[in-house]
Structure 1
Amino acid sequence: MTGTIRRPFSVSLSQKAAIAANPKLGKLLRREYFSANGSLDISNAQWQIQSLPHEVTKATRPPIPENLYTATLGTKSQSQSLPQTLNGSSEPPHRRRKRIKDETNAEAPLPLDASSRLSTLSSTMPATSLSRLLTICLSLSKPRLSFLIVLTTATAYSLYPVPALLLPSTTASPSLSALTLIFLTSGTALCCASANALNMLLEPKYDAQMSRTRNRPLVRGLISKKGALIFAAAAGACGVGSLWFGVNPTVAFLGGLNIALYAGIYTPLKRISVLNTWAGAVVGGIPPLMGWAAAAGQSATGSGEWQELLFSEGSVGGWLLAGLLFAWQFPHFNSLSWPIREEYKNAGYRMLVWTNARMNGRVALRYAILCFPICAGLWWFQITDQGFLVTSSVVNAWMVKEAWRFWRKEGHKGSARGLFWASVWHLPVVMVLAMVHKKGLWEGIWKRLNGESEDEDLWLDDEEVKTRDVEGQPMRVARALTAH
């Protein structure tokens, strides 16, 4: 009938009374059960849920009445209704999960650094408490970065080839001193804290414009600039002093030089030239030299001046470790900076990641490959044994693989994140492997377990003994000859 007016579904008075008497009947007579568009509404809602990333759907997911969903789909699960692809075929669940993961994680920023986390923690503490002050000072020191630097310093110290490492009782030469190691690590950590605090002190205006640094203590006003300067000066003075009196003047000079380079050269250069990354890599390469010079100073046969500790024939190991740290920083930083390249650009930092993105990937790959000959050099010059050549090559190959992918995909499709985490694990693993594969370590352990003598000098004649005595070389043979 043309004159009939269609009215929406309604319930009569008698039906309302029946519903009031039996609530279950109300569920059966709800309008949604009889709506012609119910299935279409749910179909559209499911399409929106499954085609958007998880983070987006969580905030914008359209509400679906529970009983409407149940009535229309019955017991059918949501995962069984897949969106259709362009060619009309259903997208398999595993491909859909992989696609959503790639979409949500490829461009996701990397986790906040430890300084930002510590700033948040300190803000929850009482304003005048000592724990709050100590947490803020720890935040100023960038503890994760400082830990890696101290690790490389201690590794270089332990890798120095001191005679009779496992059997110091058989030699008159000094073995590595635990007290010296304490002064070395604590002094290096304090120098790092000073340099990092000065870096934050010079950049709060620009740190506030970047997601990874806007939560730092100076940006949030948790400490004044004067307070940060006092902390930086005190940490620098104590650090250099510890290295001077507990290690040697050469190491103390290198510690002070690193503070000056990081705060005085690298920090301002970030707003001038992309060469700031190379300057920062030089700063990162100095700590292994400090550890090597600290160990060399204990067994120096001459005056122990800086020329002997840094440029003698036996200093090649320290320079190789410094080169490893120099090379490592490019795949690490170039991948770290990629997710926030636009923030670097907007803040005015001259970084290769946005000035020349293609070259950024090439540089990361180039220096990742350079780790191979550097690690081989540690074996060639008998700092480590053959096992290190094998194990380090596996770790280096992993980082080169990620660097190749980072270069080919120009940071996209999760390649920047993959290289970043490969570099994070690469450095500590290689350092530990170098200590495990130190030249002569396992041979000495094996000889000691089997009761074999390590005194190969027993076969020297008297003239050779006198010659070595004059040259100031270790004289464990003298005691052995006396015993005969």
Structure 2
Amino acid sequence: MWRSSAISSFYSKFTSFYNPSYYYATSPSIFTVDGVVRPVFSTSQHQCIRSFSSSAAPSPSSLTKLGFLNDGIDAIQPLASKALEIARHYGRCYWELSKARLSMLVVATSGTGYVLGSGNGIDFAGLCWTCAGTMMVAASANSLNQVFEIKNDAKMKRTRRRPLPSGRITAKHAVIWASSVGLAGTAILAFKANMLAAGLATSNLILYAFAYTPLKQIHPVNTWVGAIVGAIPPLLGWAAASGQVSLNGMILPAALYFWQIPHFMALAYLCRNDYAAGGYRMFSLADPSGQRTAAVALRNCLYLVPLGFIAYDWGLASGWFCLESTFITLSISATAFSFYHDRTTRTARRMFYASLLYLPVFMSGLLFHRISDSQQLFANGSNMVDEHSPSSENIVEAAEGADWKNEGGQSTTELQARPPVAYASAAPFPFLPAPSMQHLDVF
């Protein structure tokens, strides 16, 4: 009898030990004199555990109510919220260090240059890689600019809340961030585009961070150096698409260069007191009346007028773009003239807003009215038909996709456009040589 009772007692303890509910009810235990393991519970706790073990397997919600899982959840939640808070903090700092909105404008000009230089077909994957690399290099340049200007930014109202002057991030951290994204962006352009685009990106980063940035505290010529920096991204996009820098590819960079002067002059006039407090030698600081500042802005607005005619004459865009470009250029010139006639904060701000509107409209019109290589060849073939009627049939066939033969007798199936200099008329560029088509022999 005592053996059967001992065996049944041992079996009941063994099954209770492997009961899943046992793990949720673990607690300190002691050995008694008779060798039986007895948990240390109060009377109420013992009753609660016994009733709980007699029921079905507990759910997580019931365990949480009993207090068994609160400690684990309370330990995980602070870690997750703190990690999210850190990610938001550094993400915001990187966004401000990169001057993300300005960098996206640079990407837009680079992407426009890529489309213009693509010819008949656009490689959208190449366009995306070029935009990504340009964005990284621009972010690196802007971050290095803020690293070099920590003390100056701390003195200006509009920049004192930036990550470095406010102490939200260290200068060493910012340098590591700038170096990382700069190298990554250059590598993307080198491997996914070409070495010419990567070289233009690297030179632009050096020019912005190590030439334009220190010149801001030395001489007003910094504005014109900064205009060169802004003109390189569309040339970078053109080079990434075509693999070369041609005369046609200089139209959009020229527009960017001349556009930036009135844009910066308006900003320098509006923020001249802030620039003086920061120690920046802007052109407007040596011009108390603002007359010279307004004259420079007006002059560069007028330089934008012939660009639409040149784009049409060189076969980059249609005649409609010529009309649209003239209209929007005369509009921004009118605001510049208003600023020159009445040098007040109101007229300067109006010119600044007009400059912000001008650039996207100009680039959109250039993209919408651009002429592909096949359209250029067809138009050129039609002109050649009028001038050389005996060979009209051959020229029309060539315009439709027939093979051309070069001087060496090798046939190529890819049509080559006329050189950009051949599109220049005698009116805007009388010093250019007359167009020559001797290198094309039609058979």
TM-score by length of 2: 0.67
Deviation of 1:213 (Å): 1.2
Deviations 1:328-386 (A, max 9, x none): 10111111121220121222211111212321111111111111112321111110000
2:325 is matched with which residue: 392, 401, 404? Answer: 392
Aligned residues: 315
| Residue 138 (structure 1) shift | 1.2
Q: 1:149 to 1:462 in 2, by over 3 A?
A: closer
Please point out which of 208, 222, 227 is paired with 1:281. 227
Q: Secondary structure at the match of 1:218?
A: coil
Question: How many Å separate the matches in 2 of 1:238 and 1:152?
Answer: 20
Pair 1:156 & 2:113 matched: yes
C-alpha RMSD of matched pairs (Å): 2.6
Aligned to 2:262: 331
Distance in 1 of aligned mates of 2:371 and 2:341 = 38
Task: Note if 1:474 corresponds to 2:417.
Answer: no
Alignment of 1:116-265 (within 5 A): 128-160=85-117, 162=119, 165=120, 175-265=121-211
CA distance in 1 between partners of 2:211 and 2:185 (Å): 20
Q: What's the CA shift for 1:129? A: 2.1
Contact 1:161 1:383 survives alignment (8 Å): no
Offset, 1:470 = 2.3
For structure 1, the 5+ residue unaligned runs are: 1-124, 166-174, 298-308, 445-454, 477-484
Describe the SS at the equivalent of 2:303: helix
Give percent identity, aligned residues only.
Answer: 34
Structure 2 residue 306 is matched with structure 1 residue 373: yes
CA contact (8 A) 2:404 2:411 kept: no
What letter corresponds to residue 434 of structure 1 in structure 2?
A: L
For residues 465 and 252 of structure 1, what CA distance do their matches in structure 2 show? 34
Structure 2 partner of 1:321:
252
Q: State which of 391, 395, 403 in structure 1 corresponds to 2:336.
A: 403
Residues 456, 267 of structure 1: alpha-carbon distance in 2 compared, 3 angstrom cutoff: same
Amino acid in structure 2 at the alignment position of 1:432? S
Q: Which has the larger radius of gyration?
A: 2
CA contact (8 A) 2:404 2:412 kept: no
Distance 1:373 1:461, change over 3 A: closer
Q: 1:102-121 maps to which residues of 2 (within 5 A)? A: none
Contact 1:197 1:229 in 2 (8 A): yes
Q: CA deviation at 1:456?
A: 4.6
C-alpha distance in 2, partners of 1:180/1:459?
A: 28
Given residue 470 of structure 1, which amino acid in structure 2 is its aligned partner?
Answer: Q
Q: Which amino acid aligns with 1:259?
A: L
In 2, distance between residues paired with 1:243 and 1:134?
Answer: 24
Tell me, yes or no, if the aligned pair for 1:241 and 1:252 is still in contact at 8 Å. yes
For 2:380, the equivalent position in structure 1 comes to none
Q: Match of 1:345?
A: 276
Contact kept in structure 1, 2:103 and 2:139, CA below 8 Å? yes
Measure, in 2, the Cα distance between the counterparts of 1:241 and 1:206: 32
Relative distance call for 1:402 and 1:136 in structure 2 (3 A) is same
Deviations 1:424-468 (A, max 9, x none): 111111101100011259979xxxxxxxxxx95368999845879
Following superposition, the deviation at residue 131 of structure 1 comes to: 2.3
Are positions 1:433 and 2:365 aligned together?
yes
Q: Which amino acid aligns with 2:90?
A: L
Paired AA for residue 338 in structure 1: Y
* Residues 6-53 of structure 1: CA deviation (Å, up to 9, x unaligned): xxxxxxxxxxxxxxxxxxxxxxxxxxxxxxxxxxxxxxxxxxxxxxxx
Change (3 A) 1:277 1:458: closer
| Structure 2 partner of 1:382 | 315
Cα offset for 1:154? 0.9
Alignment CA distance shift 1:294-1:211 (3 Å):
same
Taking a change above 3 Å as real, the CA distance of residues 321 and 473 of structure 1, as seen in their structure-2 partners, is: farther
Q: Which residue does 1:85 correspond to in 2?
A: none
Residue 176 (structure 1) shift: 2.7
* RCO comparison, higher one (Cα < 8 Å, 6+): 1
Between the aligned partners of 1:435 and 1:249, the Cα distance in structure 2 is 25
Contact 1:140/1:200 (<8 A) preserved: yes
| 1:231 to 1:465, Cα distance in 2 relative to 1, 3 A | same
Partner in structure 2 of residue 13 of structure 1: none
Match of 1:416 among 325, 345, 348: 348
